[in-house]
């Protein structure tokens, strides 16, 4: 029966975030589900400049309010954000 475990990849090892009851030496299969989408690098300088200009414009149109709540590491951990 499949079991889902959460882990963080750090320094070449998977650090479990949930308890597990596996015997020592048990073989597992990992399914990576990353919430981050990494785009391929932009090699064309004109395309890169256009992308960066659009990115800055979007950031300027959506500034973080000065009175926005600052999240602590603990708060982010509780929400499942990493």
- Tell whether 19 is covered by a domain: no
Question: pLDDT at position 37, please?
Answer: 65
- Tell whether 26 is covered by a domain: no
- Tell whether 78 is covered by a domain: yes
Residue in this structure with the two tokens 């090892």, named with its chain if needed? 13
Q: What is the pTM of this model?
A: 0.38
Whether 80 has a pLDDT exceeding 70, the answer reads no
Count of domains for the chain: 1
Question: pLDDT at position 19, please?
Answer: 86
- Please choose, from the candidates 39, 36, 65, 68, the residue with its C-alpha nearest in 3D space to the C-alpha of residue 52: 39
- Tell whether 33 is covered by a domain: no
Question: pLDDT at position 69, please?
Answer: 87
Whether 2 has a pLDDT exceeding 80, the answer reads no
- Tell whether 30 is covered by a domain: no
In whole angstroms, give the CA distance from residue 71 to residue 17: 20
Domain span at 77: 42-82
- Tell whether 11 is covered by a domain: no
- Tell whether 79 is covered by a domain: yes
């Amino acid at each position: 029966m499949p079991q889902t475990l959460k882990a963080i990849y750090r320094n070449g090892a998977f650090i479990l975030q949930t308890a597990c009851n596996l015997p020592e030496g048990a073989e597992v299969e990992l399914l990576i589900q990353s919430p981050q989408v990494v785009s391929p690098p932009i090699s064309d300088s004109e395309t890169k400049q256009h992308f960066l200009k659009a990115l800055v414009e979007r950031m300027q149109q959506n500034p973080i309010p000065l009175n926005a709540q600052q999240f602590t590491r603990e708060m982010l951990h509780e929400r499942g954000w990493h």
